[in-house]
Amino acid sequence: MIEGILIGLQTALSLKNILMVVMGCFFGTIIGMLPGLGPMTAIALMIPITYGFEPATGLILMAGVYYGAVFGGSTSSILINAPGVPGTVATAFDGYPMAQQGKAGKALAIAAYSSFAGGTISAIFLLFAAPSLSKVSLAFRSPDYFALMVLGLTAVSAFSSKGQFLKAMMMVILGLMLATVGQDSLSDITRFTFNNMNLTDGISFVLVVMATFAMSEALTIILKGKDPSRATEKISLSQLGSIKLDKDERNKMLKSIPRSSVLGFLIGVLPGAGATIASFLAYGMERNYVNEDEKKKFGKGSVHGLAAPETANNAACSGSFVPLLTLGIPGSGTTAVMLGALLGFGIQPGPRLYMTNPEIFWSVIMSMYIGMVILLILNLPLIPYIARVLATPKNFLIPLILFFSVTGIYLMSFNNFDIFLMIGIAIVATFLRLYNFPMAPLILAFVLGGLIEENLRRSLLISDGSFSFLWDRPLTAVIFGGTILLVSWQIYKSIKR
Amino acid sequence: MRISTDKIISLLFFVLSALYLYQTYQIRVFSFDEDAPFNAKTFPTFIAFFGMFLSILYVVLPERIPSKVDHKVLDYKSTLFLVVIATIYGFIILRAGFFLSTSLFLFFSYYFLGERRWIWMFVLSFPFVALFMFLLHGLLDIYLRDPFLKMLGIIG
């Protein structure tokens, strides 16, 4: 492990990679800050740029964007009560009241310190958990992988949007349908191409991400007629108050951070859970831990109430890398986007990644520490300036998002068929968003589609076409049982109502 | 009986899954693969049937949280405009080149969204795209075909 850490440090500390972390954190913070645009959009917009880099550099940039976007989301939650990402909704519960009391600087400082601590502590957990889990996951066979991916899709559908399980599952099916377009990986037979040569290689992953997130989010903002920058009229972005914390505030933070870090990391590791659930659970847990006097302050600007979700959402981000790096299975929409980008580099994450590409495996983990430090350095002194991004009017913001989306696709294929296909998918996605059909399960299914088919193929060939492979091995049976329980629970909830 | 839009969408999803199933049966697999435990049709067939099952389930089960969309407040005009201008942008990008098509796309998008600060509109279109192209060429070494700039002799 020491050797791996040194390899990771060597790669992560190269000037180019440090520059990438700084760039990633900076752009991630800016994009994440804009309400409606989350880490997935931020990463999607960066993918075309990363293809010009080495895989390790590209992944380091995307990891920086991820953390930056989560932190940026906190800033808009605190300052204008408009969370940039769902994972920072809980941050607004106490962060916004603090800002209203003229303590916006303090609230941002608590968020920055908590994010730093949560991210750093969970990166230490990741350092130990990832290699150990990689060794365990070497015992996984095709049926286990198949069952695990189905569980991941079901879990993301169950947790991605409250009470919309069946809608999310329909999005999973739509994602799988899109993934089957093009040549079959084994027989090379073309499927669902309608004799169109442009579809022979399948639909580009970047195209689907850009269409369902960046472009569709931009169209949704216009369709709903909301201008995110109007919310900034209520607050002075240049006078946010002192960022210095007193001893009492520091002590409160020190109590909240360790327990929220552990909780956030564990939730992040689970497929389908992630920053949103982690932050809500941490908020609830913290409320139960504190004394009666502190409990009364929750929702009115409590330090505990702000530090806990902020720590947990960053810890969950690191945690979500565990299944991606060790099993090659993303546990969330954001890590699914990263998996798609890695596959684009020709790299298959999984238990053998840390043996075949140690520089990628370790440098990503090491860059997380560097990223956390950079986020802290970048955000504390610069936040009054960065926060002005919130005032960007939609008249400029939306065309620029559309420009980056179209250019990103154009740079990858240099044909206009992909641009039209992207616009078409974006229109459908915008309509579906209006009716609360979540997009994250679609992306996850699209990315995992090929892997699921491959593992199902192997499993069925081994069992001679029988579905007994689902219960022949105890591990597969346990994972598959978990999926059945989850589905039954969700359907029971629907019927009960 | 009133049926919600969510349920209509799930019925449309049923139709989509049925069409997908029809297309799945049109896939021509190799003769030796026809009776194999797994061929190019197997996975799409599962997907199609599962999609039809889910959509029927959604229609049959009671809705937990029906979506409420007030169409009166939705700005269809601006959205449609953006879609049209992005489509035109897609049409002309190969012929007019990246610089001109992108700059015009940005400028007109700002204008039609109601922006009238001409200096900012100009700065964030023509010079902005020029800087972006310089970064692509200079830093990332990505070549962008541009007949317009080539005609002017700016790029090779």
Q: Do A402 and B109 touch (CB under 8 A)?
A: yes
Of A282-296, A343-357, A438-452, B104-118, least confident by mean pLDDT is A343-357
Test mutation, B17, B21, B65, B79, chain A, max A CBs within 10 A: B79
In chain A, residues with a C-beta closer than 8 Å to the C-beta of B132 are 407
Dist. CA A366–CA A62, nearest whole Å: 14
Predicted confidence at residue B25, as pLDDT, reads 94
B positions 36-65 inside 8 Å of A (CB): 37-40, 42-44, 47, 50-51, 54-55, 57-58, 61-62, 64-65
Dist. CA A224–CA A390, nearest whole Å: 18
Cα distance from N-terminal residue to C-terminal residue, chain B: 66
Predicted confidence at residue A444, as pLDDT, reads 84
Q: What is the DSSP letter of A191?
A: E
Residue type, A465: G
Predicted confidence at residue A160, as pLDDT, reads 66
Predicted confidence at residue A368, as pLDDT, reads 77
Predicted confidence at residue A162, as pLDDT, reads 67
Joined together, the tokens standing for residue A235 give: 């607050």
In chain A, residues with a C-beta closer than 8 Å to the C-beta of B102 are 403, 407
**Looking at CA atoms only, how far is residue B34 from chain A in angstroms?**
12
CA A429 to chain centre: 19
Does B27 reach chain A within 8 Å, measured CB to CB? Answer: yes
Of A33-37, A303-307, A313-317, B1-5, least confident by mean pLDDT is A33-37
The pLDDT of B114-126, averaged and rounded, is: 92
Nearest to A437, CA basis, from B104, B121, B8, B76: B8
The pLDDT of A313-323, averaged and rounded, is: 85
A67 vs A91 pLDDT, higher one: A91
Q: Do B5 and A219 touch (CB under 8 A)?
A: no
Nearest to A398, CA basis, from B29, B12, B109: B109
For chain A, helix (H) and strand (E) counts, in that order, are 23, 2
Residue type, A362: W
Which secondary-structure segment (H or E) carries A182? strand A182-183
Share of chain A above pLDDT 90, in %: 22
The pLDDT of A406-426, averaged and rounded, is: 89
3-state secondary structure of A395: helix
Q: Indicate the pLDDT class of residue B80, thresholds 50, 70 and 90.
A: very high
Q: Would you tell me how many other CB atoms lie within 10 Å of the CB of residue A488? A: 10
pLDDT tens, residue by residue, A245-288: 889 999 999 999 999 999 998 888 876 667 778 888 899 888 88
Dist. CA A421–CA A417, nearest whole Å: 6
pLDDT tens, residue by residue, A175-219: 999 999 999 888 889 999 999 999 998 998 888 988 988 889 889
Q: What is the DSSP letter of B62?
A: P
pLDDT tens, residue by residue, B131-146: 988 877 776 667 777 8
A positions 41-60 inside 8 Å of B (CB): 49, 52
Predicted confidence at residue A194, as pLDDT, reads 92
Joined together, the tokens standing for residue B118 give: 């001409």
Does B120 reach chain A within 8 Å, measured CB to CB? Answer: yes
Q: Do A416 and B13 touch (CB under 8 A)?
A: no
Cα distance from N-terminal residue to C-terminal residue, chain A: 51
Q: Would you tell me how many other CB atoms lie within 10 Å of the CB of residue A228? A: 22
Predicted confidence at residue A420, as pLDDT, reads 95
pLDDT tens, residue by residue, A74-123: 887 888 777 766 678 788 889 888 888 888 888 988 998 998 899 888 88
Nearest to B121, CA basis, from A154, A356, B112: B112
Share of chain A above pLDDT 70, in %: 93
State pTM to two decimals. 0.83
> Is the pLDDT score of A319 beyond 70?
yes
For chain B, helix (H) and strand (E) counts, in that order, are 7, 0
> Is the pLDDT score of B22 beyond 90?
yes
Contact yes or no for A107/A306 (Cβ under 8 A): yes
3-state secondary structure of A301: coil
Dist. CA B151–CA B156, nearest whole Å: 9
Predicted confidence at residue A54, as pLDDT, reads 84
Q: Which residue has the tokens 């066979």?
A: A141
Nearest residue in chain A measured CA to CA from B107: A399
Dist. CA B45–CA B23, nearest whole Å: 10
The pLDDT of B59-81, averaged and rounded, is: 85
Residue pairs between chains A and B whose CB atoms are closer than 8 Å = 181
Cα–Cα separations (whole angstroms), residue A56 to A13, A26, A94: 12, 19, 38
Q: Indicate the pLDDT class of residue A330, thresholds 50, 70 and 90.
A: confident
* ipTM of the complex model: 0.94
Of A393, A416, A464, the CB nearest to B91: A416
Residue B98: partners with Cβ closer than 8 Å, 6 or more residues away: A407, A410, B129, B133, B144, B145, B146
Predicted confidence at residue A340, as pLDDT, reads 82
β-strands A190-191, A182-183 pairing: antiparallel
Q: Indicate the pLDDT class of residue A303, thresholds 50, 70 and 90.
A: very high
